[in-house]
Structure 1
């Protein structure tokens, strides 16, 4: 597994790099020996140190974790590694049965690349038509829509919608640091959503009301 280590507002020394490489290799190989690549980012702020790790377990499944400490970068790294190990341990069985055996063509056939334009205003429920053009970047601000009463929030992004069972979608959401995941339900091909609630539970939204695949 190729591991890239970088620093933000700080230089990563040799000791930290060895700690990150050895620690992440040990954690990942214990539960999933076929990981593709990984990245470790160390950031220093006024509040202390933050370490973020991202491991490409397969072409479609990423493992993300974060650790923080006010004084020591190595302690922040250990916290991130511990977080990653807990997630891998929880999903060890599912990961083994969810190996990436699909060809690139099969993955492409099961994936929709959606272009979204979201217009949100506290004062009005009206919005311009959704854009059908693929944006040049993940986030692009369009200033053409104005609301005199509230500041509009406009987001444009390219989003890959995968064909998954609900169990697979929940696993991918829990392995990542993302708040939500949109997917095509493998049982009926409709769009579904799983998201993390404020009470740490995971909610599942299925507009079709089909509950037959779990």
Structure 2
């Protein structure tokens, strides 16, 4: 990986260069086999150091991180933590997408009567449930619990369900929380 360390009105010595190379190499090797390049820029503002990292980790994969601290090492560590967190989240999404593809293959092989039915290829922003030309309707009966939106969002993350229906603890209306294609949690409130 090619690493460029620059400073805007800040002297970047060998110690900070070594620290940057070691930190970026560690997170790049942890999440990607071969990151392409990284550009690290240090600056100073009102007594604090700022660090901006632009990491080109692969084709169409660019991560950015910003950190600030009382010295350049702390600013870099904070920015490196941001980039590492973003790389970890990106890697998790890629792995989950690959697992959903393998589930589709298992469904096709376990239901030979559906193997002849063409299944359309799914995009990343579509729901990861397998689809067929004429899907079966499956009824599921469950009692709606009374809870807050934040409790329902926690249940959504804990269960791994595509959505959670619940009665809002204040209004008593039926509400839904779901995972949006962009990764955020969506909330459907009939009063709105």
Q: Which has the higher strand share?
A: 1
> What is the TM-score of this pair, normalised by structure 1?
0.44
- Structure exhibiting the larger radius of gyration computed from Cα positions: 2
Q: Which has the higher helix share?
A: 2
> What is the TM-score of this pair, normalised by structure 2?
0.49
